[in-house]
């Protein structure tokens, strides 16, 4: 058995590891029933899908030629990780709108190719969409702005 596409193989192993780790974290979450799914359904389903995607990628790497591994792109990995952590830490404290702006801005710093005027329009659109979908549409109990600035 020869690995013919090292990038897909490494990505597949990474997806499998993250999927299994996510499933392990969600192992104690209640599943509920088909009529009343509980908090464990989505994390476990996404974990299995991620691990399954990793298995498919790793399997594909054994039959299809592809590129060798290249250098790790640290800047995007670091900025996306920071953006995710910032979202988790800020959403309850400063509300969805500011949290989304901070998180998206950190992610935008992940590449030198960001066009900041386009990003500004995109960010405004995404914040409005996020508020409309998650707070107004789904009724999620999240503040829009920090306390004192929020109408909610």
Query: In the chain, which stretches have pLDDT less than 70?
Result: 148-152
Rounded Cα gap, residues 126 and 131, in angstroms: 9
> What is the extent of the structural domain holding 97?
74-137
pTM value is: 0.66
Rounded Cα gap, residues 69 and 132, in angstroms: 42
Please report the pLDDT score of residue 14 as a whole number: 94
Please report the pLDDT score of residue 53 as a whole number: 97
Please report the pLDDT score of residue 105 as a whole number: 97
* Cross-strand partners of 32: 37
Alpha-carbon distances of 21 from 45, 46, 47, 53, 103, rounded to whole Å: 13, 11, 8, 15, 24
DSSP string, 1-19: ---S-HHHHHHHHHHHHHH
Instruction: Give domain status of residue 146, yes or no.
Output: no
Q: How many domains does the chain have?
A: 2
Q: Give the pair of three-digit tokens for residue 91.
A: 């959403």
Show which of 15, 32, 60 is a domain's final residue. Answer: 60
Instruction: Give domain status of residue 143, yes or no.
Output: no
Instruction: Give domain status of residue 55, yes or no.
Output: yes
Please report the pLDDT score of residue 151 as a whole number: 53
Instruction: Give domain status of residue 130, yes or no.
Output: yes
Alpha-carbon torsion angle 5, 74, 22, 108, nearest 10: -110
Segment 32-76, tens digit of pLDDT: 888 888 888 889 999 999 999 999 999 999 998 888 788 888 999
């Amino acid at each position: 058995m020869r690995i013919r596409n090292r990038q897909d193989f490494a990505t597949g192993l990474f997806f499998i590891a993250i999927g299994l780790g996510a499933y392990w974290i969600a192992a104690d979450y209640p599943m509920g029933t088909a009529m009343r799914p509980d908090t464990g359904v989505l994390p476990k389903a996404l974990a299995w899908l991620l691990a399954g995607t990793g298995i498919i990628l790793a399997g594909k790497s054994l039959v299809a030629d592809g590129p060798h591994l290249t250098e790790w792109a640290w800047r995007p990995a670091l900025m996306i990780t920071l953006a995710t952590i910032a979202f988790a830490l800020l959403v309850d404290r400063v509300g969805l709108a500011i949290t989304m702006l901070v998180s998206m801005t950190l992610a935008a710093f992940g590449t030198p190719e960001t066009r900041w005027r386009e990003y500004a329009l995109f960010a405004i659109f995404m914040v409005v969409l996020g508020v409309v979908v998650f707070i107004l549409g789904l009724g999620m109990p999240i503040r829009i702005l920090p306390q004192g600035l929020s109408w909610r």
